[in-house]
Structure 1
Amino acid sequence: MALHASSGLLAAAAAGGLGPRKVHRIRAAVSTETTEEGKVQLGGSDLKVTRLGIGAWSWGDTSYWNNFEWDDRKMKAAKSAFDTSIDSGITLFDTAEVYGSRLALGAVNSETLLGRFIKERKERNPEVEVAVATKFAALPWRLGRQSVISALKDSLCRLGLSSVDLYQLHWPGVWGNEGYIDGLGDAVQQGLVKAVGVSNYSEKRLRDAYEQLKKRGIPLASNQVNYSLIYRVPEENGVKATCDELGITLIAYSPIAQGALTGKYTPENPPTGPRGRIYTPEFLTQLQPLINRIKEIGQNYQKTPTQVVLNWLIAQENVVPIPGAKNAEQAQEFAGALGWRLTNEEVDELRSLASQTKPVIGFPVEKM
């Protein structure tokens, strides 16, 4: 599954400034703090990102999101989502080397698309700032720290960048996890990344990774996990509390439960494809009282259900949601989750209502 960049592309990347980087001391554990620019510090790193990011899992995908079809129309829609996000003040984009099928006809790797969008935007406005987060796939045949650096350089070539802002381990490996963490540290010291994180890590793995990087003076900036109003496992398994304790930002993927919390789907109109096997008519029937209350609260703020549930996550503090945007309309709607806040009473009420719903089945390893 791994792709290998040509030596010419790697040489070009090296010429762009992949030099050694000074490692900064780890700050004391703190929750994510809003900066004067309206951004938040990602964990104990120096990286500042917008309070909400955009997930690019669907860009180029032909297996889960796009019904085995990727065409020019969908590419233009993704490009519009990218531009609208930036125009709305959202500049964090999360992708991965395994997003987008490389087998199906017409499919494009998500990193390649994001890199193309960034290049086209910078040609119009060289001063535009984009924060790129991507991920290393812990595939069974990838062994040791050098495999992380090799995969990262391949990702940089697809993105057309000399470095990325955040590099994450997509999921724990079957073996070699210590080597992977060493590889993250090497990436920081070689100036290939500004910050490093993990994804789908349990409390124990999270603590181990944090301590291993700490020995090198490198902060573990983030843990990206499945987290939404109806999938609150990070609150129950110690991951959220550990992130707060150690000053690691929790990045929430599937924050609107892959559309189930938007109010778009009903028992009579469930989602199609793989999502239909998770969000069944029976589950959507249980979900309706919560959806109705979300709509009522949204009306008080003149906000959509999507904006309410994203704001609920932001209100948890130390959480950066990354909903996936397929088009400009979705990106614009996500931006409406910023600049206001649910009351503590509303936050608690929604959690209480959601707890009465049978927990949705999550993805132990998302987006593999």
Structure 2
Amino acid sequence: MPETPTVRLRRRRPAFLVTVATTAALVAALLSLPGTQQKAEAAPATFVHPGVGVSRGQLDFARTQVLAGAQPWKAAYDQMLASKYASLTRTPLPRSVVECGSYSNPNNGCTDEREDAIAAYTTALAWYITRDVRYAQKSIQLMDAWSATITDHTNSNAPLQTGWAGSSWTKAAEIIKYTYTSTWTNSARFGTMLRNVYLPEIINGSNSNGNWELTMMEAAIGISVFLEDKAVWDSAMAKFRTRTAAYIYLSSDGAVPKTVPSQNLDTTAKIVAYWQGQSTFTTGLSQETCRDFVHTGYGISSISHVAETSRIQGIDLYTTDVGERLRQALGFHAKYQLGEAVPSSLCGGSLTLGLGPVTEVGYNAMHNRLGYGMTNTQNLTLQSRPAGTNNLFVAWETLTQGDNLS
């Protein structure tokens, strides 16, 4: 069953409550309107910085909590600082061409690029919290090394690799460019790298499993913020909205899930095959649930990241079908990750678990901001704190998002 708590209608400090049944009816009615689910949101009139994944207010809140020794933020910060990604002796390992085959085989620079990007973000966060310029300089060193070197991504996993690395690079770059007290001399060159090397690989989307396109659009939207490019935002957001609607099922979608037109999934049989053989569709189910929870977690995470970046930019996707799909997907997968018995109607009664550290952003937005109970997601989130990194593109979200209403 989907999670159905009492829902507050106003953000943060609600004035009144409505019943679950009434809320569910309203949501269903709204989502059934023509065009509601796949309507793209236009770029903000003015971009907010830092504004990819985490805002200045959220950074200030996290810093205040860490410096006060408050939990769980201090434990999350200690975890981050103890990781290899925070090392001040890290040596960048840039390559001109990063070659990534299926499952990163061959792996010619794939791990190096992803981990250098996470390290740039990690040291940017460490800079903001400590004001130790060595961390800012390390983040800059990593970004400068890659922007001076990389020219291309190749082989079959190139689009996904570009999305993963691009998602972390833009979060790091936003913090350094807009909060570091000294000049980042090569920030324009870094922007050129994003536009000329990363963006062409991801902006046209993907017809692979849905987590690919969701991560690619996450990176593209981050790039659009850093470059202040409204056309890129609009293009990426349109693909994101369509893919999100086709990735997480709601009963209001009808008998079968929505599809991405370019994939030509024009029969029920084709849809079932694409959904890993699952023929019974339940609210919250993902296109990759029956593949495994690891890849499903990638998709859920990217949906939450785009929604959070959009919120920072003044565009609220959490109260659209994006938020409803995110909420239901989190609750659906959290209950099985926590150990609930799997019915025979779901993936033949067997699931491959491993959701990963992906619940903090969506939980904070949908529970703490909008007031949904989300018992399953809450239990999993609290049990998993502090959330670390998946070593691909998710990192330190208890620190930046945990119970953070800024």
Alignment TM-score > 0.5, same fold:
no
Q: What TM-score, normalized by structure 1, do the two folds share?
A: 0.29
Q: What TM-score, normalized by structure 2, do the two folds share?
A: 0.27
